[in-house]
Amino acid sequence: MSRLIPGGAPASEAAPPPRDAPAQPPAGYLFAYFAGEHRPDGEQIRFALCDGPRLDRWHEFTGVRPLAPAGGGARDPFLVRAADGSGFHLLATDLRIHGGDGWEQAIAHGSRSLLVWDSPDLRHWEGPRRVEVMPEQAGCVWAPEAVHDPRRGEYLVFWASTVYPDDDPGHRTPSYQRMYCATTTDFRVFGPPRVWLDKGWPVIDSTVVEHEGWFYRFTKDERLPGTAEAPGAKFVFVERSRDLAGAPFEPVAEGVGRGVDGAAGLAHAEGPIVLPAPDGRGWLLLLDEFGGRGYVPFRAERLDGPVWVPADDPDVRLPPGLRHGSVLPLTGRESAALRDLTPVDVEA
């Protein structure tokens, strides 16, 4: 299935450096997201543009059909800039809850594939294609993301899956979500999947940012809240490792999003997005308070610090209605090339 967004020319300038070491602040940001299963058209990939260096004013793409597979749904989009500067990829969960058989069916008998689109310029999208990354023992593939591993010259793609014993083809045995990963160089051919994060209890929605030789992994603790054994349930924990694919990760922070020192936190949090703060002072963590306020910003001076506080910052204002997505920093030319697709403000 292919879809062409009319107009525009490919951006020809060089891709900006990695997020952890920008030569200059981004000129804009592209937010890929979905709206939610509460509406028939909510499980499709949409885009909003912030045409400026501050995250304070967003414009919704209009006149552009959202991205989704024919007859299905797409959730949890993640934008990937090709390491060689050739274009972009978009990964998403192959899932439609609205009008379906519910969450239990999706967990145990959902798609074992991830969705992939490709684009030379963020305007023209080819896809989606379904890439099967898990065997029959898996129940689902959720919230795929990817990060380039410069040491190995490949991407590590990761997602959450339930898995079941070989002698349980009906997937009736109790299971839980854990993070799997596989490598790829082209988002078409993937290596064999392997366990990347297994706590013995459910985790989902990992994202990774590289900084000063460390890979920081942010993940949602999916346990049920209200027990002494799960103080960080339904919030985010942070780990780090020098080796993205090999060495163990060490703990950094937990319960991120709950609020600290009397500051109000979220009811729950998922879909973490990590960005350098636009003002150059530390880092932003955007957390999706699903069923509540949507994306809410938090701030920390350092990625290796234990505390993230709500960001009371006029330069960061996020529009409502954005569910689990990703934010791609843009060059000036890339941002300008998308301007004519975004004539309507999204009020924060």
Q: Which two tokens stand for residue 184?
A: 């790829």
pLDDT (0 to 100) of residue 172? 96
Report helix, strand or coil for 169: coil
Q: Please tell me what DSSP assigns to residue 293.
A: T
pLDDT at 343: 59
CA torsion, points 58, 61, 66, 67, in degrees to nearest 10? -80
Euclidean distance between CA atoms 195 and 269, whole angstroms = 24
> For position 63, what pLDDT does the model report?
55
pLDDT at 259: 73
Helix residue spans in 214-340 (DSSP H)? 332-337
* Residue located via tokens 């939610």: 36
- The span from the CA of 176 to the CA of 263, in Å, is 32
> Which among 188, 174, 309 is positioned nearest to 255, based on CA atoms?
309
pLDDT at residue 299, as a whole number: 94
Flag whether pLDDT at 344 surpasses 60.
no
Question: What is d(CA 313, CA 299) in angstroms, rounded to the nearest whole number?
Answer: 9
H-state helical runs in 57-117:
103-109
Judged against a pLDDT cut of 80, whether residue 20 lies above it is answered with no
Given a cut of 60, whether residue 13 has pLDDT beyond it is no
- Percent of the chain scoring above 70 in pLDDT: 89
Q: Exposed/middle/buried for 9, CB within 10 Å: 0-12, 13-18, 19+?
A: exposed
Examine the pLDDT at 42 and tell me if it is beyond 70. Answer: yes
For 322-334, what is the mean pLDDT?
96
What pLDDT shows up at residue 17?
42
Query: How do the domains of the chain map onto residue ranges?
Result: 28-341
- Determine the average pLDDT of the residues in 108-121: 97
- Write the pLDDT tens digit of every residue in 273-316: 999 998 888 999 999 999 999 999 999 999 999 999 998 888 88
The upper half-sphere exposure of residue 68, i.e. CA atoms within 13 Å in the direction of its Cβ, equals 22
**Residue 14 pLDDT > 60:** no
28-341: CATH number: 2.115.10
- pLDDT exceeding 90 applies to what percent of the chain? 78
Cα distances from 318 to residues 205, 260, 294, in angstroms, run 20, 21, 9
Instruction: Tell me what pLDDT residue 5 has.
Output: 32
Q: Looking at per-residue confidence, does 239 or 63 come out higher?
A: 239
- Give the chain's radius of gyration (CA, Å): 19
Mean pLDDT value across residues 112-138: 96
The Cα 341–Cα 49 span in angstroms is 9
Q: What is the pLDDT of residue 64?
A: 62
- Tell me the pLDDT tens digit for each residue of 97-113: 999 989 999 999 999 99
Residue with tokens 């699903």: 290
- Mean pLDDT, the chain, whole residue set: 89
**Using 50, 70 and 90 to split pLDDT, how confident is the model at 341?**
confident
- What CA–CA distances, in Å, run from 19 to 30, 31, 210, 261? 14, 15, 8, 30
Give residue 181's pLDDT band: very low, low, confident or very high (50, 70, 90).
Answer: very high
Residue 308 and residue 299 in contact, taking contact as beta carbons nearer than 8 Å: yes
Q: How far apart are CA 44 and CA 31, in angstroms?
A: 14
Q: What pLDDT does 263 receive?
A: 63
